[in-house]
Amino acid sequence: MVPVNQDWPVADLDPVRRMRVLAAATPGAAYAEKLIPAPFSAVWETASDLEHELPRMITDLRSFEITSTRGERLTARARGRLGQHARFDVVLRPGWCVMQSRFLIGGMAAAPDGAGTRFAFLGGLRLPGIRLLDPALRPAAQSLALRPIRRLERRLQAR
Amino acid sequence: MAPMTRPPDIDPALVRAAQHGDQIAMADLMDALAPYVGRVCGPIALHDGPDAAQEALIVIFTNLAGLREPAAIYGWARAIAVREAVRVARKAARAVPAELADVPAPGDPQLAADVRDVLARLTPEHRAVLVLRDLEGLDEQATGALLAVPAATVRSRLFRARRSFRKAWSR
């Protein structure tokens, strides 16, 4: 006889590991991770303030306005530096944020790692045929995805 | 042994949306699948369970478009999770010298009966049989088909695995 179900070990997948899965499954995605030397609560408090912090992290973004909130589900209106705008569907909860518009996808994830926080950033385009460009885009995309994380890190250091 | 509690049903429309690259649907589908994949990978890959579950979900999501029948998603995900968990556990076992392998401390019956300790004495293949037969409730034929071994091998692995538990508990 084998012990009851609840005694069996269960593998837990933290938000950063989940974001790695989304990144691997998203053709052409820009994805990067970095260990930020700040506690999870401080990192996520800043990162999850989408209206104020997202335009600081993504410099092409002029504003990001939350237009509705229903639990973890949000909608937002984003405006770019060139005047373009898009409606985003967003899922936001502690350590986890994914969003998409008609043409763009994005995500952030955070998990405690020692005394610091592992932070992940994902960005990409929803375009037909992007899968074909994936091998060419990946290497450059990683350095692009690191920039918003570095901006977040500088913002946290300045506080 | 009662099989694992049946995981919640997944809306076929959610699977279809995720197959078409809807990022929100993919995230929702991951919320539904990750706990299930974690329950399958945990007892097989043990300490490497999170790595195994991550690898399994990467295989699941990168191949999602090939899943023809959304209703079959749990069975499909289970097969991938078991294979990835055995692969990751085997790789980790090779990387650790035998003398450093986890050996449960003898003498303490409470400790010896700990599921994790007993599982650690088995090979990943034996643990996979236990998970499929005792947690998932699959029969010998289905377990053998999933692991690509004859039903007789499933029977002998299960016998050995259950005997390990009996030994641990009878101390």
Domain span at residue A117 reads 29-158
Kindly state whether residues B68 and B138 are assigned to the same domain: no
Kindly state whether residues B94 and B110 are assigned to the same domain: no
Domain span at residue B158 reads 105-171
**pLDDT surpassing 60 at residue A149:** yes
Which CATH number is A75's domain given?
3.30.530.20
Q: What is the pLDDT of residue A128?
A: 65
More confident residue, A128 or B3: A128
CA distance B124 to chain A (A): 14
- Residue B166: list chain A partners with CB under 8 A: 1
Looking at B56, B74, B101, which one is the last position of a domain?
B101
User: What proportion of chain B, given as a percentage, has pLDDT over 90?
Assistant: 64
Kindly state whether residues B62 and B23 are assigned to the same domain: yes
Angle, helices B73-95/B23-45, rounded to nearest 10 degrees: 50
Is residue B3 situated within a structural domain?
no
Q: What are phi and psi of B156, to 5 degrees?
A: -70, -35
- Residue B49: list chain A partners with CB under 8 A: 9-12
CA distance B97 to chain A (A): 23
* Residue A106, beta-bridge partner list: A99, A123
Is residue A122 situated within a structural domain?
yes
Looking at B77, B101, B125, which one is the last position of a domain?
B101
Which CATH number is B113's domain given?
1.10.10.10
CB contact under 8 A, B26 and A22: yes
**pLDDT surpassing 90 at residue A65:** yes
CB contact under 8 A, A7 and B115: yes
A interface with B, Cβ–Cβ < 8 A, is: 1-3, 5, 7-14, 17-18, 20-22, 24-26, 89, 91, 96, 98-100, 105, 107, 126
Kindly state whether residues B111 and B80 are assigned to the same domain: no
Q: What is the pLDDT of residues B93-143, one digit of tens each?
A: 776 544 433 444 444 445 445 778 888 888 999 999 999 998 899 999 999
Q: What is the ipTM of this complex?
A: 0.89
Average pLDDT score over chain B:
85
Q: How many domains does chain A have?
A: 1
DSSP for B64-88 reads GGG---GGGHHHHHHHHHHHHHHHH
Is residue B2 situated within a structural domain?
no
Say what the pTM is: 0.87
Which CATH number is B32's domain given?
1.10.1740.10
- Residue B43: list chain A partners with CB under 8 A: 8-9
Kindly state whether residues B35 and B115 are assigned to the same domain: no
Kindly state whether residues B140 and B89 are assigned to the same domain: no
